[in-house]
Amino acid sequence: MSGWKTGDLLDLQDLTREDIESILETAKSFKEVSTRDVKKVPALRGKTVVMLFSEPSTRTRVSFELAAKRLSADTLNVSVSASSLSKGESILDMAKNIEAMNVDMIVVRHRSSGVPKVLADALTPGIINAGDGCRAHPTQALLDMFTIKEKLGKIEGLKVAIIGDILHSRVARSNIEGLTKLGAKVTLCGPSTLIPVGIEVQGVKVTHCLEDVLKDSDVLMFLRLQKERQQEKYLPSVREYVRKFGLNKEKLKWAKKDVVIMHPGPVNRGIELSADVADGENSVILEQVTNGVAVRMAVLYLLLGKKEK
Amino acid sequence: MSGWKTGDLLDLQDLTREDIESILETAKSFKEVSTRDVKKVPALRGKTVVMLFSEPSTRTRVSFELAAKRLSADTLNVSVSASSLSKGESILDMAKNIEAMNVDMIVVRHRSSGVPKVLADALTPGIINAGDGCRAHPTQALLDMFTIKEKLGKIEGLKVAIIGDILHSRVARSNIEGLTKLGAKVTLCGPSTLIPVGIEVQGVKVTHCLEDVLKDSDVLMFLRLQKERQQEKYLPSVREYVRKFGLNKEKLKWAKKDVVIMHPGPVNRGIELSADVADGENSVILEQVTNGVAVRMAVLYLLLGKKEK
Amino acid sequence: MSGWKTGDLLDLQDLTREDIESILETAKSFKEVSTRDVKKVPALRGKTVVMLFSEPSTRTRVSFELAAKRLSADTLNVSVSASSLSKGESILDMAKNIEAMNVDMIVVRHRSSGVPKVLADALTPGIINAGDGCRAHPTQALLDMFTIKEKLGKIEGLKVAIIGDILHSRVARSNIEGLTKLGAKVTLCGPSTLIPVGIEVQGVKVTHCLEDVLKDSDVLMFLRLQKERQQEKYLPSVREYVRKFGLNKEKLKWAKKDVVIMHPGPVNRGIELSADVADGENSVILEQVTNGVAVRMAVLYLLLGKKEK
């Protein structure tokens, strides 16, 4: 068995509302650690945390590595492409080897959906999903929820719009899971080609018109438009996408004065957001990054506590 | 001068039987450290261990890095291809620079045989050979001997078969050296093209028939068939190799019931071993990986003790 | 504002003579740390130092990483090419993300001149320039000055020749800045195509003849001839360059008996220096490397002290 109860973080669907709230509460106290002069607590001294990444991702890898180091854990980077996988070894074989070295936690990012679940089912160390294919990115959703709660005091009842390529976005998928669980009213907004058919059954609304969500949303969460998607058949043109779904100073006037603008980064400036909006006073993009370290410290701390039982 | 007595581990031929037994004994106590809640002892605090690797090797690099970290040493990775070597610098120049930074130990892997010896002759820090060309891989042989002793209580008098491409295998070469020194009866088994002519002078037997060793061996140590070898003239075909030298459930019936099956990894499943045998109850492949960390901790600890004198 | 006074090290032109002397003095005490059995002091425990490198440079990266580790800081490597920059993110965006994770110091190397200044102007953490384009490499010049002072007891009044490709050399530029500030008499020597026109206004002499500087220089500092330069129009041929500006045993006879020969490394043996001269008794090339760690420890220590104010 795998899942939050047994020491893994694979997908927010494995967590109850109480689990999520407990993570956000724990993260609050860890956020303070990173502002200290000595940014370090001994909580995970003598534990080993391995970052097993098959996709390049500086910000997520660095965020986890810092989180682990600030808890005094030993960290180790394994970049899957540079590794024995080139000898035809499967990622499961590789992970079994890492397990055999008595590591405590494996943070895994992989381009194929489901890889973290496969590892969690097979292995004793805790597994944290740091993003798998189009499936889930639970710590990103947790840090997004932490940020919303910090800025607006609550999540219950808030109107949150998620804007862009919902279809291919693990960030969207995990946020939908988490935000609806915590009582937010989620509306998805994007071209019809980029919104999964029938997704309303998950308790969200759908619109293809940015104006619909601009006026009364408390939070506007923009998704990155992947370069590869721009060259596929999903969009008539990037220019058209920007006109319809991009946010600039002009359109921002229609929104609530204190609307919270989020983006998982890196922003394509001039596409999802104009530069002035990305850097503007409603944007919390860099606060999301700061909170990422705190949330990941909380997740590592809580999971390794479970594993010790 | 270089060699075990002066603080380097280059080749098991530099070690006496007593040296090897002392490493295995030390490793036993370090193995326990990796099972603790706090997997760390302060033995090498303030020492610097550099991993200087010219070949990609996740498992060996990670094993050494973990070993050093669990002894509280500072570790540093230098990947030779990504480095100044691309500017035409020789590995000796690079290593002299690392030496000048007052590091204590350099763990080196290199595709050319003899590079660790060149470094050890020229440099003050200890040098550990983590695999050089077709020559030696002493810590692999030490962990193999540790595993055999742990499973079977002794090495003296045991019948050990090493099966596969002996000719190109540094793992085989180091195991032959160590196992015969500790009194095991070693038989090499493989295609005649892949067994060095005249190797019997080293005190081993040779056979080209797997059946010969299956029946009465206590240990069957399979070697990885390198992809590049499969495309060369050494083998009629991979299929033929599997038929003659691969082990599956069917052939395993001919072996002793408690035969120990080893492989340095990563296994080509379906070639050297069928998947069910690789994961079966006679296989100690993952225990070898676990023991690798303990043996490397012992080697680092003992060598750095020598260097301090 | 950015610069030494506010916690950044971008260019030696921001430092007074007293600033430089204070760094060299601090480095002296840190040099001793690296010769201890336990090479570690707790000065920067709980601080985070990120190495953000866009050019491969093992020796500089390793030197900074060791310096930070010996001060007990947490270190983190971000290789810019392997990172999100491939997703079209700018280095400033990336650095802002790193800043948001509450790091204390970013050590940056970049092929474009001015990048460290851009980061320092925009960011709160300290920025150390570890080499930007053809502009500056202040810690290299500091370690060179440390080495000269250690060997010859002073810098004031010494005759220092810098030989080679001055035009493209950040090492030369920073050394000219620092050495003239400390009262050395600097002469530049190289082909006229590789010496900036009008550089005499910076208080240096220029010659195109190695013999001119050989006879009475106290220090001969050779620069690396970059491979790419060898293939450009700057030189008639490498052979001609060696004949005119390379140093070998024969030419060395013309120099002072105790002349100090320096090179930032890696040496093109047979080009700037013959192998016997590079390894000869006048060469302090490896001492420069040793001193690099001490100087970088001093810079990290002094800058992080400033930042804490």
Cβ(B92)–Cβ(B118) under 8 Å? yes
Of A22-36, C76-90, C150-164, give the lowest mean pLDDT range.
C76-90
> Does the structure show a pLDDT above 80 at B1?
no
Q: Show residues of chain A in contact with C76, CB under 8 Å.
A: 62, 65-66, 69
Q: What is the pLDDT of residue B88?
A: 54
- Cα separation of B170 and C36, whole Å? 36
Whole-number average pLDDT of chain B: 93
Does C66 contact B101 at a Cβ distance shorter than 8 Å?
Answer: yes
Q: List all residues 6 or more positions away from A189 whose beta carbon is below 8 Å from its beta carbon.
A: A161, A162, A163, A164, A206, A207, A208, A209, A210, A212, A213, A245
A84 touching chain B per CB within 8 A: yes
> pLDDT tens digits, residue range A40-50?
999 999 999 99
- A111-115, B225-229, C149-153, C283-287: the lowest-pLDDT one: B225-229
CB contact under 8 A, C290 and B89: no
- As a whole number of angstroms, the distance between CA C164 and CA C223 comes to 5
Query: What residues in B contact C59, CB-CB < 8 Å?
Result: 84, 94, 97
Mean pLDDT calculated for residue range C223-235: 80
B265 touches chain A (CB under 8 A): yes
The answer to whether C268 contacts chain B (CB < 8 Å) is yes
- Using alpha carbons only, how large is chain B's radius of gyration in Å? 19
Residue with tokens 């130092």, as numbered in its chain: C49
* The pLDDT of residue C79: 83
For the ranges A87-91, B201-205, C10-14, the lowest mean pLDDT is seen at A87-91
Average pLDDT, chain C: 93
Sheet holding B105-110, edge to edge: B74-79, B48-53, B105-110, B126-132
Of A65, A266, A290, the CB nearest to C100: A290
Which residue in B has a C-alpha nearest to residue C34's C-alpha?
B102
> Can you give the pLDDT at residue A226?
84
State percent of chain A over pLDDT 70: 94
Distance from CA of residue A282 to its chain's centroid?
Answer: 20
B 37-76 residues inside an 8 A Cβ radius of A: 37-40, 56-59, 62-63, 65-66, 69-70
Q: What is the pLDDT of residue A290?
A: 98
Query: Is pLDDT at A200 greater than 50 in this prediction?
Result: yes
Residue C226 has pLDDT above 80, yes or no: yes
**Mutation site for C-interface testing, chosen from A36, A37, A62 by largest number of C Cβ within 10 Å:** A62
Give the C-alpha separation, C126 to C98, whole Å. Answer: 12
Closest CB to B286: pick one of A78, A86, A100: A100
| Structural contact between residues B281 and B287, judged by C-beta atoms closer than 8 angstroms | no
- Partner residue opposite A58 with nearest CB, options C84, C102, C103: C84
Average pLDDT over residues C11-32: 97
C255: CB partners within 8 A, 6+ apart: C214, C215, C217, C220, C282
Residues 6+ away with beta carbon under 8 Å from B36: A46
Determine, for residues C293 and B102 on separate chains, whether the beta-carbon distance falls below 8 Å: yes
How far is the alpha carbon of A127 from chain B, nearest alpha carbon, in Å? 18
Q: Which residues of B touch A94 (CB under 8 A)?
A: 58-59, 266
Three-class DSSP category at C179: helix
Nearest to A45 among B38, B65, B265 (CB): B38
pLDDT at C305: 78
Can the peptide bond before residue B266 be classed as cis, meaning omega within 30 degrees of 0? yes
Better-predicted residue by pLDDT, A112 or B16: B16
Hey, what domains does chain A have and what are their CATH numbers?
4-136+289-308 (3.40.50.1370), 138-284 (3.40.50.1370)
Determine which helix (DSSP H) or strand (DSSP E) holds A139, and give its type and residue range. Answer: helix A138-152
Residue C10's CB is within 10 A of a number of other CB atoms, namely 24
| pLDDT of res. A309 | 38
- A45, A84, A99 ranked by CB distance to B58: nearest: A84
Provide the shortest C-alpha distance from residue C104 to chain B (in Å).
20
Residue A89's pLDDT band (cuts 50, 70, 90): low
Is the pLDDT at A229 greater than 80? The verdict is no
Dihedral of CA atoms B59, B61, B64, B69 in degrees, nearest 10, equals: -110
Q: Kindly determine whether residue C40 and residue B74, on different chains, have CB atoms separated by under 8 Å.
A: yes
Average pLDDT, chain A: 93
Cβ of B58 and A78 within 8 Å? yes
Residue A307: pLDDT over 70: no
Tens of pLDDT, residues A122-143: 999 999 999 999 999 999 999 9
Mean pLDDT over B78-102 rounds to: 78
Helices B138-152 and B285-308 cross at an angle (nearest 10°) of 120
pTM value?
A: 0.94
Higher pLDDT, C26 or B58: C26
Residues of A in contact with B58 (CB under 8 A): 78, 82-84, 94
Can you give the pLDDT at residue C309? 39
C309 touches chain A (CB under 8 A): no
User: Would you call the peptide bond into C266 cis, given omega within 30 degrees of 0 as the criterion?
Assistant: yes
Which band of pLDDT confidence, cut at 50, 70 and 90, is reported for residue A120?
A: very high
Q: Does the distance separating the beta carbons of B96 and C63 come in below 8 Å?
A: no
What band does B54 get if pLDDT is binned at 50, 70 and 90?
confident
What pLDDT is attached to residue B309? 39
**Chain B neighbors (3+ CB pairs < 8 Å):** A, C
Q: Cβ C69–B48 below 8 Å, yes or no?
A: yes
CB contact under 8 A, B82 and C56: yes
CB B79 within 8 A of CB B98: no
Nearest CA in chain A to B224: A87
What are the tens digits of pLDDT across the range A247-271?
Answer: 999 999 999 999 999 999 999 999 9
pLDDT tens readout for residues B156-179: 999 999 999 999 999 999 999 999
Q: How many whole angstroms separate alpha carbon B265 and alpha carbon B224?
A: 7
